[in-house]
Structure 1
Amino acid sequence: MYQVLLYYCYTPLDNPEEFRDEHHRLCLKLDLRGRIIVAGEGLNGTVSGTVENCARYMAAIKADPRLAALEFKVDDVPAHTFQKLHVRVKPEIVHSSLHHMRPHEKTGQHLSPAEFKALKDRDDVVVLDVRSDYEYNLGRFKNAVTLDMENFRDFPERVEKLKEFKNKKILTYCTGGVKCEKASAYLLEQGFENVYQLHGGIIKYGIEAGGEDFDGQCYVFDNRVAVDVNRVNPTVISRCQHCQKPSNRLVNCANPHCNAHLPLCEACGAELRGACSEACAAHPGKRPYNATGVYFKPSNHYTPAQGLTSYARGLVEN
């Protein structure tokens, strides 16, 4: 049995490069795979591994006083949900245009899944999805306000749309919580007074509150692509790109020059050979359709040690 761990923590890290190398070695030792981002503002990651090794990893992380407040969202899976391990240093742990925000100092009030559920349908409340369009088109809370964003960095430009809700409670949510930390902090900076966030995001809400009133599926950033979260009143809201019938089967267009991420039912996937349109189906560079619609990048001589300073130094010396 394996597990997937989703986590983040905004906390100052004085030497991200050194932290990255130490963290990378820990993941190698435990045969963890996934994507981890290290920045001066904290840590953000999703990894998969055996139950035993995930437990050892969580214990090691929690033993670091800087990461004591970090919470893991844990999901059982039959095998690794990543092919590779990447531990990278970046300017932010979630790409945004809000570099000046300090969520560990000031952010929206955290709501537990139970508290979020109790508040979300009140007349004085607005539920705000701060994710990108391809995510909320696949699944979102009933009556949620969406912001038509291709990327989270567009969030500040969309805040004007929310001015009509300044006298209401704003309940933000995202996949695991990391985007809400900065989004809610920015709303406070812009004069919104009653700003909250779903602590642990959609994933934790599914675990603790059964996912009630979350329509569709939740997009995730691993090989599963999307997961069910609603065990109470599930429904499908996304529609096949081609025939417009309800479908939550999310794929990448088989034309790598398009590579659009969109719903495509099995019948249309077979008819168009995995492409999103007739034009993409006829493109000379189209990938052979593999019936899943998920295409992994070539390994290019990948090794799990890539990214380590010592590994890079060895390449130069050799």
Structure 2
Amino acid sequence: MQTAPSESPAAVVVAALYRFARFDDPAALRGPLEQLCRAQGIRGTLLLAREGINGTIAGTSEGIARVLDHVRALPDCAGLDVKLSSAAAMPFHRMKVRLKREIVTMGQPDVDPRASVGTYVEAGDWNALISAPGTILIDTRNDYEVELGTFAGAIDPETASFRDFPAWFRRERERLLGSGKAPRVAMFCTGGIRCEKSTAFLKQEGIEEVYHLRGGILKYLETVPEGESLWQGECFVFDQRVSIGHGLVQGSHGLCHACRRPVSAQDCASPLYEEGVSCPACHGERTDEQRASYRERHRQELLAAARGVAHVGAVIETG
């Protein structure tokens, strides 16, 4: 049984998990999985598709262990990728198991990570690879994630969605890799799942020497000592913790509940920031009517908190 790092026996266990597998009937898997999660008091989001399972859940150590055992018993899921951490409080409002077309949306139906992916690189070997001359390092995450932190020297595609990554690479390929023999390409993401697809995509595009960080940034921050780290900043996570740092400790960022983007202390000091309503990034994207709606929602959330009950209006999705 896998255990999570925890500073206190009462700490909430957070499990980020995924597995590319063949589910002939994902709808049939949904009910039993959701029923078990609810019975164990688990909250979070799990996505099921024909290509596998992905999500982040939180709960007691025993409850998480029971759910992980259940998932590992699903077809071709014995090798489930799981990264465990802890939180001081429950980081999710409710439990959802959703059926999706893809467990991570790239919009490239011919890309199959089960058939071909890049070469996995362990966290302890990552520094040597990305520091080697001739390595092109690409951050496959979205722009708001990269803004919080990334590896030194990484290329930021400045994409708003992972779906934009294929078009970005095809457009920038010659500038990045040249017209001769392609250099080695190393890519990384939060937990590893987006790199499964992005490296499979590059292999399909004819790039032979492709590498990715096994376990993603989360595994790197968990295992590589801060004094030896090439990571700069914090890592965005898709739950109420918002960001984490070395050792998987909770970071310094909050969340704008209007646009789901992270906010720093500087953002919160801006006249465009209003808790639960707007931040500097989204203030110009919303109308006065929308902000009024967010303001009322935030008021209801505060009232619910004062009564000691959960308000389910604000939910962070797993990405």
Q: Which band: TM-score by shorter chain?
A: 0.7 to 0.9
Deviations 1:219-240 (A, max 9, x none): 1111111111379xxxx9xxxx
Match of 2:7?
none
On the 8 A contact 1:272/1:281 being kept in 2, the answer is no
Match of 1:100?
110
SS in 2 for 1:72: strand
Look up the equivalent residue of 1:120 and give its one-letter code: I
Range that drifts further, 158-167 or 96-105: 158-167
Deviations 1:173-229 (A, max 9, x none): 000011111100110111111001111100011112236111111111111111113
Q: Which runs of 5+ in 1 are unaligned?
A: 237-247, 303-318
Match of 1:276?
279
How much does 1:279 deviate? 6.4
Matched, 1:194 2:205: no
Matched, 1:299 2:312: yes
**In structure 2, how many angstroms separate the alpha carbons of the residues matched to 1:76 and 1:65?**
28
CA 230–77 in structure 1, closer or farther in 2 if over 3 Å, else same: closer
**In structure 2, how many angstroms separate the alpha carbons of the residues matched to 1:139 and 1:151?**
17
How much does 1:65 deviate? 5.0
CA 250–126 in structure 1, closer or farther in 2 if over 3 Å, else same: farther
Match of 2:5?
none
Matched, 1:249 2:264: no
Look up the equivalent residue of 2:263 and give its one-letter code: P
Range that drifts further, 202-211 or 222-231: 222-231
Match of 2:263?
263
Q: Of 68, 74, 79, which residue of structure 1 is paired with 2:78? A: 68
TM-score, reference length from structure 1:
0.79
How much does 1:69 deviate? 1.1
How much does 1:111 deviate? 1.1
Matched, 1:185 2:186: no
**In structure 2, how many angstroms separate the alpha carbons of the residues matched to 1:217 and 1:95?**
24
**In structure 2, how many angstroms separate the alpha carbons of the residues matched to 1:70 and 1:281?**
40
Match of 1:221?
238
**In structure 2, how many angstroms separate the alpha carbons of the residues matched to 1:33 and 1:260?**
19
CA 267–25 in structure 1, closer or farther in 2 if over 3 Å, else same: closer
The alignment covers a number of residue pairs equal to 278
**In structure 2, how many angstroms separate the alpha carbons of the residues matched to 1:128 and 1:282?**
35
CA 279–181 in structure 1, closer or farther in 2 if over 3 Å, else same: closer
CA-based RMSD: 2.9
Q: Which runs of 5+ in 2 are unaligned?
A: 1-10
**In structure 1, how many angstroms separate the alpha carbons of the residues matched to 2:49 and 2:286?**
41
Look up the equivalent residue of 2:190 and give its one-letter code: T
Match of 1:175?
190
**In structure 1, how many angstroms separate the alpha carbons of the residues matched to 2:51 and 2:136?**
29
Look up the equivalent residue of 1:204 and give its one-letter code: K
**In structure 2, how many angstroms separate the alpha carbons of the residues matched to 1:280 and 1:171?**
35
How much does 1:298 deviate? 5.5
**In structure 2, how many angstroms separate the alpha carbons of the residues matched to 1:260 and 1:45?**
17
Look up the equivalent residue of 1:224 and give its one-letter code: R
Alignment of 1:79-118 (within 5 A): 79-118=89-128
**In structure 1, how many angstroms separate the alpha carbons of the residues matched to 2:286 and 2:27?**
44
CA 32–270 in structure 1, closer or farther in 2 if over 3 Å, else same: same
**In structure 2, how many angstroms separate the alpha carbons of the residues matched to 1:12 and 1:136?**
31
